[in-house]
Amino acid sequence: MKNKWLPVIILAFAEFVMVLDSTVMNVSISTVVKDLNTTVTSMQAAITFYTLTMAALMLLGGKLGDIWGRKRTLMIGAIVYAMGSFITSISQNFTMLFIGWSIVEGIGAVMVIPAIAALTASNYTGKDRVKAYAIIGAVAGAAAAAGPLIGGYVTTYLSWRYVFAAEVIIMAGVILFMKYIRDNSRPSHTRIDIPSALLSSSGLILVVFGLLQSKAWGLIEPRAIPTIGGVEIAPFGISIVAYIIALGVVVLYLFWRRQQKLESKNANPLLRISMLKSAQLKSGLGVLLAQYLVIGAVFFVIPVYLQMTLGLDALSTGLRILPLSIALVLASAIGARLVDKWSPRKIIRAGQIALVLGVVFLLASIDIQLQKPIFSIGMFVVGIGIGLLASQLGNINMSAVSEKQTSEVGGLQGVF
292 and 236 together in one domain: no
Quick one: pLDDT at residue 230?
65
Q: What distance in Å separates the CA atoms of residue 125 and residue 132, rounded to the nearest whole number?
A: 9
Chosen domain end from 205, 233, 264: 264
- The pLDDT profile of the chain, 416 residues, written as one tens digit per residue, is 458 889 999 999 999 998 887 677 777 777 888 888 888 778 878 877 887 888 788 888 888 888 888 899 999 999 999 999 999 999 999 999 999 998 999 999 999 988 998 898 888 887 788 778 878 877 877 777 677 778 778 887 888 899 899 999 999 999 999 989 988 777 777 788 889 999 999 998 888 888 877 877 888 888 777 767 666 777 778 888 899 999 999 999 999 999 999 989 888 888 888 888 888 999 999 998 888 888 878 877 787 788 778 888 767 777 888 888 788 878 877 887 887 788 888 999 999 999 999 999 988 888 777 777 888 999 999 999 988 888 888 888 888 887 777 778 888 887 88
Quick one: pLDDT at residue 255?
94
Quick one: pLDDT at residue 61?
86
Quick one: pLDDT at residue 270?
86
- Domain of 309: which CATH number? 1.20.1250.20
- Does some domain include residue 121? yes
Q: What distance in Å separates the CA atoms of residue 269 and residue 277, rounded to the nearest whole number?
A: 16
- Does some domain include residue 273? no
Chosen domain end from 229, 264, 299: 264
Identify the domain containing residue 34 by its residue range.
6-190+278-415
Instruction: State phi, psi for 278 to the nearest 5 degrees.
Output: -70, 120
333 and 293 together in one domain: yes
From 381, 390, 401, 405, select the one nearest 15 (Cα to Cα): 390
pTM over 0.85: no
Q: What distance in Å separates the CA atoms of residue 397 and residue 406, rounded to the nearest whole number?
A: 9
- Does some domain include residue 161? yes
247 and 304 together in one domain: no
Quick one: pLDDT at residue 377?
93
- Does some domain include residue 198? yes
- Does some domain include residue 1? no
- Does some domain include residue 172? yes
How far lies 35's CA from each of 21, 28, 96, 317, in Å? 18, 11, 13, 18
289 and 218 together in one domain: no
286 and 335 together in one domain: yes
Q: What distance in Å separates the CA atoms of residue 85 and residue 128, rounded to the nearest whole number?
A: 33
Quick one: pLDDT at residue 108?
94
Terminal alpha carbon distance of the chain = 36
91 and 172 together in one domain: yes
Quick one: pLDDT at residue 2?
56
| Exposure on the CB side of residue 379, measured as CA atoms within 13 A | 23
162 and 97 together in one domain: yes
145 and 11 together in one domain: yes
Quick one: pLDDT at residue 229?
66
10 and 111 together in one domain: yes
From 80, 119, 115, 126, select the one nearest 101 (Cα to Cα): 80
> What is the tally of structural domains in the chain?
2
Which amino acid type is present at position 217?
A: W
- Does some domain include residue 384? yes
115 and 256 together in one domain: no
- Does some domain include residue 231? yes
Chosen domain end from 230, 264, 298: 264
Q: Do 359 and 378 touch, CB atoms closer than 8 A?
A: yes
